[in-house]
Amino acid sequence: MGKLEKKRTFETIASNVAEYLHKPDWWYNPFELVRLVWNVGYILVQWCIIALFKPHYRKTSEPFGRVAIIGAGLTGVSSAAHCIAHGFDVVIYEAGPKLGGIWAHVNRTSGLQLNSLLYRFHPGVLWSRGFPLRDEILEEITGVWKEYDLESRTRFGTKVTKVDKAEAPKGGWETDPDRSRWVVNGGEDGVFDAVIVTVGTCGKPNWIKLPGMPGNVGQDSSDSQPTRDQDAEQPTYSEVLKREDNTSNSSDEEGHSDDSHQPSDGDIFTKRVLHSSELDSDKFDLPPGSRRIVVIGSGASAVEAVETALDRYASAKDDKSDAETKVEIWMIARHDKWIIPRNIVVDTFLSAQPFGRQMPLSFLWEAFMKRWQYRGIEGLVPKDIGIYEGTPVVNDAFLHHVRSGKVHYVRGSPTRLSKNGVVVSPRKGAKKREDGKLDEDDATIVTVGEGEEREIEADVVVLATGFEKPSVDFLPKELFPEGYQRPDLYLQNFSTEDWSILMTNSAYQNAIGTVGHFHIGIYTRILLTLLLDPSARPSPKDMKLWVDVLRFIKRGATGGAFGFFTYMELTIWLLGFHILRPDRLRWLFFIMNGWGVRPRR
């Protein structure tokens, strides 16, 4: 370990000790001392990981090859750092003006859902706590970027519009003539030996269009009042339902939204409508007199929006707060999502299931969650989706907010906006009430039954509808033949037609695990191994066979063979890369641990 790592470790420990000593009860509260010992131990564990696995940067004038990285988010920076550390040169293309990917565009209260020991996107990161927030995550990304001298290799404001195969010079390539080479945007930066696409799965905010919504919503985030004089190019709610439902064939199966409903001019919602990613913006504040925030959505974005709102404004249920602005928060949930605790032991065991699908004994985990995580609000336990059939939300506070009444949870499908708020219809399969009585307006959990329609009044409507999936249309279409498109790829990340196109974290759909862990380095080193060793390369036939075999093994799985996986299943795939081809075993320690390949002096 170098001087920089030792200095950072010492400073992080010193910061924890100083924080402990500044607490007034430090000298008689044993729990604070236990917490300090735990935090220091947590940092020392990371110190050991850094010492064992961090690859060090060494300059070289003779790189083994050149790799194009598309995207300067967490995955792109980590992939580039691994390439540089092992003797390859890189160029990073970033369409935006700054680093960080999705982390540069979320609220400051956004943080890791999983414990940071499970989010070590590069071996050199040193987290100060178990669940760091946005700013610390961006600091770590920037630290890796600078340490591996990636500043001069990054092209900000450069959108990749086309990746093509490079034409061989007359007489062919001098070395390794049988593999592809690539040029980006016409070849301004020369020829590349491989391309790593790290655009992720979260692009621009996913705006939806509901009847009764002002036409310019999503076009301008200014503070001016929205109007209805434009028809924004946004997807209708039904279109969004089709895209986001991996388990159903059409939106009609889940919601009752009626996009054909055309409200009169007097029934348009004229108050503020914003995306959940704007809640923390300096441009947004609650208009005077506002007190009710309605969040549309029930996934991770919605849960985070609730936490952001409660962080900025006190709850109307909080009698101890003397804040001037107190709010009521209502969440309209078309689906119930599994919400698992921020507990490293529980999360690790959940992700350690090797089958990557719902199994006969999965009900044991569900029963455990119902008794522990959902105690007192068992009615929110999802009934139509298993815990291994979709990405769960990882959160400790949200269900407590529902129990305490700080959040009103509405089980229904938002149909349209009205002058006063959001009109909610029943979900698909909602039952008619036997007693005919409606839930009270101030109930913690409100269910819209068959034949009912409810209007939830709102001063602000927050669309927690996530982010659009980034396009990869800049890649040649022949790389993804029918049946072998995202996510049905070799090892879920390599094009089955050409192993020199790697799409780390860009084919992901649903999982129990993390997108920011050691697999980023492993996938990068698999690519580097294939560049260094022609005998280790798979043929298109072999890569398609791998996909087909996994489809057969996981036939009948919700969302398809690659629609959901666990981190243990992913680890088995990566180990199988070596076991199924014994000639690759000599690369095992390099690929899995990063040991063995260093830049030329």
pLDDT at residue 232, as a whole number: 37
Residue found by looking up tokens 């760091």 in the block: 132
Cβ contact 209:249 at 8 Å: no
Residue 458 has pLDDT above 90, yes or no: yes
Residue found by looking up tokens 């919400």 in the block: 339
Span 236-247, mean pLDDT?
A: 48
Spatial separation of the C-alpha atoms in residues 40 and 227, rounded to whole Å: 54
Cβ contact 273:222 at 8 Å: no
Q: Could you tell me which of 150, 158, 151, 161 has the C-alpha nearest to residue 185?
A: 161
Percentage of the chain exceeding pLDDT 90: 62
Angle, helices 74-85 vs 519-532, to 10°: value is 40
Span 393-413, mean pLDDT?
A: 93
Residue 246 has pLDDT above 60, yes or no: no
- In angstroms, the Cα distances linking 345 to 348, 351, 441, 571 are 5, 10, 39, 18
pLDDT at residue 1, as a whole number: 57
pLDDT at residue 224, as a whole number: 35
pLDDT at residue 23, as a whole number: 76
**β-strands 339-340, 393-394: how paired?**
parallel
Rg (Cα) of the chain, in Å, rounded? 25
Percentage of the chain exceeding pLDDT 70: 88
Q: 227 versus 145: which is more confidently predicted?
A: 145
Span 394-408, mean pLDDT?
A: 93
- Of the pLDDT bands very low, low, confident and very high (cuts 50, 70, 90), residue 508 is confident
Q: What are the counts of helices (DSSP H) followed by strands (DSSP E) for the chain?
A: 13, 21
Q: Taking the alpha carbons of 380, 385, 387, 391 in that order, is the dihedral positive or negative?
A: negative
Span 235-256, mean pLDDT?
A: 43
pLDDT at residue 254, as a whole number: 36
**pLDDT tens readout for residues 103-150:** 988 888 788 888 899 899 999 999 988 889 999 999 999 999 999 999
The neighbour count for residue 28, using CB atoms within 10 Å, is 8
Residue 225 has pLDDT above 60, yes or no: no
- Of the pLDDT bands very low, low, confident and very high (cuts 50, 70, 90), residue 567 is very high
What contacts 201, CB < 8 A, 6 or more positions away?
467, 469, 470, 505, 506, 508, 509, 515
Spatial separation of the C-alpha atoms in residues 66 and 184, rounded to whole Å: 12
The neighbour count for residue 434, using CB atoms within 10 Å, is 7
Tell me the pLDDT of the chain averaged across its residues: 87
**pLDDT tens readout for residues 165-189:** 999 998 889 899 999 999 999 999 9
Question: 309 burial class (0-12, 13-18, 19+ CB within 10 angstroms)?
Answer: buried
Span 406-413, mean pLDDT?
A: 94
**β-strands 89-94, 182-184: how paired?**
unpaired
pLDDT at residue 231, as a whole number: 36
pLDDT at residue 230, as a whole number: 32
Question: 495 burial class (0-12, 13-18, 19+ CB within 10 angstroms)?
Answer: buried
Spatial separation of the C-alpha atoms in residues 149 and 246, rounded to whole Å: 41
pTM for the predicted model, two decimal places: 0.87
- DSSP strand E in 276-402: where? 292-296, 314-315, 326-333, 339-340, 393-394
- Of the pLDDT bands very low, low, confident and very high (cuts 50, 70, 90), residue 468 is confident
Span 573-592, mean pLDDT?
A: 94
Domains of the chain in start order, with CATH, are 54-202+473-593 (3.50.50.60), 272-468 (no CATH)
pLDDT at residue 323, as a whole number: 58
Q: b/e string for 180-199 if b means 16 or more Cβ within 10 A?
A: bbbbbbeeebebbbbbbbbb
Residue 351 has pLDDT above 90, yes or no: yes
The CA dihedral of 273, 285, 327, 300, to the nearest 10 degrees, is: 60
Count the residues in the chain. 601
Q: According to DSSP H, which parts of 59-216 are helical?
A: 74-85, 134-147
